[in-house]
Structure formats: C-alpha cells, structure tokens
Amino acid sequence: MHIAIIAWWQSKERTISLKSAQLFVKYLDKNKHTYSLFVFPEQKEEFLSQASSIDCVIPVIHGHWWEDGSLTALCDRLTIPVCFTSSDVHALCFNKYKCSVLVESQWISIPEQYLLSKDSVVEDSIEKDFFPVFVKPLTGWSSIDNKICSNYQELQEIVEKISTYDQALVQQFLWSPSKREFTISLMGDYDKAITILWITEIITQKAFFDYDAKYHLDKTKEVIPAIITQKLQTLIEQISLKIYRYCKITSLARIDFIWQNETLYFLEVNTIPGFTESSFFPKALEYQKISFTDFIENLLQESMT
C-alpha cells in the first residue's frame, strides 16, 4: 500500500506534529508499504494531485483546522481510507467545553468551567471567589498558552492572548495535597473489544503540566504503570471505557484525569495524541511490549476494513 503521512506546520504544535510524523516514517514497514510525507498547508495541492494513488492516510496533525476532523472529512470526500476516529468525533473531542458537557451528562465529574472570548468582560463573567483559575485554549493543546490566574488582570491578559486565535476555557483550578494526575490510552472501536493500556501517573515539579513540563522531562516524572490501588485503577478504567463508548471513538484515544479528594475529574480526550518518542501513547505501547511497527500495521488494516 502507498501511505500518505500528513503533518501540519501552521500552529503552535507544529514541532510536535512533525516529530510525530517522523516516528510513523521510522517504524512503517517498508517491506509492505511505500509512503509520502506531506506537510500542510504548503503541500496540500500536491497531496490532492496524488490522491488517486494513495491507499490510506495517517493524519498526525495537532492544532486548529485539521485536527477538528476536517482532514478526515476531506479524505472521506476523496474516498481514501483514513486512520483514527470519524470526523464528527474528532470535532466533538477537539472542543473541550462541548466534550466536557457531554461527559458530565453521564454523571462523571468535571472541573467547574466557563467559556470566554475576546468580547468577554472577565469581571462580569467570573466571581472573585472563584480564583485561582486554570485557563487554556478551547481547541488547542492544553500544554500551550495555559496559565493559572489569581486575579482579574492576569485572567484578562491571557484571555486576550488566546482570543487572537481561539476561545479561552476557564476552569476551576484543582489543587490540594491529595491531587494526582493520570492519563490512560485505549485502542479499538467503541462497539467492539477495546484494549486498555497501562495508566500513567504524571508527576511534575511545576504547578501544572504545561509544554515545558511535557517536553523537558527533567521537570517531570512519568510513572507507568501508575502506583495506585486496585480500586482507583478500576475506577479510571471503567470511566475511561464509559467515555470512549459514549463518544463513539474508534481506533484510539488518550484520556486525562485529575484525582483529588477522593473524586476523579475528567479533563479531556485526545483523538490524535502526540506520537513523539517521549509521548504517552508510544510509551504505553512500548511498556506493554507492543511494537510501534505492529501498531501501525494494525491501524492501517483497521482503517482499510
């Protein structure tokens, strides 16, 4: 098969997108497949001109425009099989606010949250006793342009910055001595057998898990499998399966949580997680002795069928 691997550079996550694409290039079985690497947007027309010769697409795109399911929808129109979940599920999970509201409807705890835009007056939107708050882009990676704000001035500044390209999601800042952060990866179709990979605990010296903590590992410790009670492990796995199935995710996803004061809070779903050497999903595969080459092969076969 001839595989198109597509990365995206016009976003703050361009470095991660390009590194992720290179991991697929590195581990793709060259005895079975040929490949072309396209970097959008400058190679979009080149991709379209070669569409008839492409058997399957692997989108490793992070950020606006394409990670919201637009690329998957484009491939559907071109009748090219594409890896990962459907375009509508991408769009749902890409919007953190909508996804959280849907998850909360299933009696799953989420941080209290507000959605602000460039026209929002923060003093009118947020009660003073709600501070400190955690702010992140609505549809961007949570490790970029996020901040803990302790007053209206700080909040107004970060909302204005994010508003140049997105809306700002303002959430209750979860912090206590008992706080722990976890991420879990799952594979499979929501209506079939689902494989649950080991839970990873994220321990960072910083106040929250931002880009610096994520990609400068001297500031972060990742414990896999997480050292937790069987009760907590079962809870995380059961709630993750519930979210995965309710959102009708196919192929794979990574789901993030915070455990605080005996309550598990849902943070977000990533339907195209990072695939760099240091990303959670490839590490979870490695720990469970699933080769990345085998993972790619299964991904392609599932997408083709």
Query: How is residue 36 annotated by DSSP?
Result: E
User: Whose structure tokens read 């955690």?
Assistant: 134
Please give the full DSSP string across 187-242, using - where no structure is assigned: EE-TTS-EEEPPPEEEEESSSS--HHHHH-GGGEEEESS----HHHHHHHHHHHHH
Q: What is the pLDDT of residue 207?
A: 54
For 208-219, how does the pLDDT look when each residue is reduced to its tens digit (9 = 90+)?
545 454 545 566
Which two three-digit tokens encode residue 130? 């709600």
Helix pair 292-304, 14-27: axis angle to 10 deg: 90
- The domains of the chain, with CATH numbers, are 2-84 (3.40.50.20), 92-109+175-271 (3.30.470.20), 113-172 (3.30.1490.20)
pLDDT tens per residue, range 78-136: 999 999 999 999 999 999 999 999 999 999 999 999 999 888 888 888 998 999 999 99
Query: Quick check: 273 and 279 in contact, CB under 8 A?
Result: yes
Which tens digits make up the pLDDT trace of 158-189? 999 999 888 999 999 988 888 999 999 999 99
